[in-house]
Amino acid sequence: MGLKSDFWIREMSEKHKMIEPFCEKQIGSGVVSYGLSSYGYDIRVSDEFKIFTNINSTVVDPKNFDFNNVVDFKGDVCIVPPNSFALARTVEYFKIPRDVLAICLGKSTYARCGIIVNVTPFEPEFEGHITIEISNTTPLPAKIYANEGIAQVLFLQGDEACETSYKDKAGKYQGQRGITLPRILK
């Protein structure tokens, strides 16, 4: 298994629409950087957010998620309350090849402000927007800038294709558009 370079990422995005829209160079002047980098791709956060709230005093249950736990917000800047959490999605839509696993790590610009970005791995043949988990670990409100960089994706290509892909097992988040809340298959 090997880490893939900018040449491979560009080719896969141009020929196979692995990342759409695709920004073939790194944009970084006056913004949190995004676009193609040497060995990865810096994804952007869209202008859609779901901010966690305790207004309704419900319990966060991944098996029975209460939609009253979040407040929808759309805008150029999202303020995540102190010691709180928000969900967002990528601007980019992904189509991961069958022999590739992608891992996503938060950008240092946000990490240095106490903002932790978590994204689970993109499994082989996953397709969709990526739901992004944003934690504000500080005692202060934190700004998240829409349409700017939020995390970097690293692509690892296996020596052979997997036996069973995310698409094969009809993964519950396959084809997701927008921010997708937790779900349990029944």
List active site positions.
Answer: 133
Whether the Cβ atoms of residue 101 and residue 143 lie closer than 8 Å to each other? no
Whether the Cβ atoms of residue 76 and residue 146 lie closer than 8 Å to each other? yes
Q: Which two tokens stand for residue 75?
A: 């805008």
Place of tokens 């601007």: 91
User: How many other CB atoms are found less than 10 A from the CB of residue 17?
Assistant: 13
CA nearest to 97, candidates 156, 43, 151: 156
